[in-house]
Structure 1
Amino acid sequence: MASAVASSVVAPVSLAAASPAAVSRDSTSVKAFSGLKSATLFSSQAQTLSSVQNGSRVQCMQVWNPIGQPKFETFSYLPPLTDDEIAKQVDYMIQQNLIPCIEFDTVGSVSRTNFSGAGSSGYYDGRYWTMWKLPMFGCTDSSQVLREIQECKTQFPSCWVRVLGFDSKKQVQICGFLVSRPN
């Protein structure tokens, strides 16, 4: 079967090569493809328009100092979020039908302690944070989440606290961000 398919594909090419009169009569002149040329795709004018010109001082936010500070979660490189900023993020989470959940941890980052190495199941200590109460099923207001964050911070002042958003249909964590660092 494979040889029949191969011969049917090769036959028209060999027929055309065998009769040069038929090739010259039916073919048209086509220039061979020579590849993409950057000069035709990207003109110098387009490059100057898309390049960033930042000659003057611009109002920018100072980011979190990375020296001696590992990156923990989304927004962890920014200065600490205010309650209003946290509430806006939680409101967005609720609008997206995500279930807020609060977690805390003394380390605040994933560490590979007691890691079994290559060929293991992938388990290691320090991968999971402790859940503060149950996920907030039915939560409709960010003030409920802010109250729980405050309770968690009061109960565990030496812990990192984060808010996660779970999708109940996909049963996965969709988003998460740091809301408190230890005192």
Structure 2
Amino acid sequence: MKLTQGAFSFLPDLTDAQVTKQIQYALNKSWAISIEYTDDPHPRNSYWEMWGLPLFDVKDPAAILFEINMARKAKPNYYLKIACFDNTRGIESCVLSFIVQRPSYEPGFKMTRQEVKGRQLVYTLESYSVDAKPEGERY
């Protein structure tokens, strides 16, 4: 199952050349860029680990791609994403994010259905990877 989070998630994985063009687009907009990673890609897990510090003053897409490649080497079986932040209104808000690396195997999610008070049905989305192994050992 291919995880679909962020921009471009329904397209084939981006090449480094395409990633570089997206980084250049973000830099042209004066957005700050950060690289994040996780082994728990649950849709409600919005707090991924940050790779290094945000790249506020970096203006060269090659330098950011270098950091992405360093993260790929250090975290080969993790999800990596780029997050771009716009602070033009004084608020750091994410305006673009997309996945740049996936683990070789994506176990997917299961939906659990529960009947609660009043015969109401409640659905919960759970990650198979979280059920199988503890954090840091999932992939």
Q: Is the 8 A contact 2:35 2:82 kept in 1?
A: yes
Task: Return the offset for 1:170.
Answer: 2.4
Runs of 4+ in 1 over 4 A off after TM superposition: none
Instruction: Give a deviation string over 1:27-48, Cα, whole Å, max 9, x none.
Output: xxxxxxxxxxxxxxxxxxxxxx
Higher helix share: 1
Instruction: State how far apart, in whole Å, the 1-side matches of 2:31 and 2:42 are.
Output: 23
Q: Is the 8 A contact 2:81 2:101 kept in 1?
A: yes
Q: Is the 8 A contact 1:108 1:159 kept in 2?
A: no
Q: Is the 8 A contact 2:32 2:55 kept in 1?
A: yes
State the match for 2:68 in structure 1: 149
Unaligned ranges ≥5, structure 2: 105-139
Task: Return the offset for 1:137.
Answer: 1.2
TM-score by length of 1: 0.53
For residues 24-173 of structure 1, the aligned pairs below 5 Å read: 68-111=1-44, 126-168=45-87, 169-173=90-94
1:170 maps to a residue whose letter is: I
With CA pairs under 8 Å and 6+ residues apart, which has the higher RCO, 1 or 2? 2
Unaligned ranges ≥5, structure 1: 1-67, 112-125
Instruction: Tell me, yes or no, if structure 1 residue 182 matches structure 2 residue 103.
Output: yes
Distance 1:139 1:129, change over 3 A: same
SS in 2 for 1:74: coil
- Aligned residues: percent identity? 29
SS in 1 for 2:80: strand
Count of residue pairs brought into register by the alignment = 102
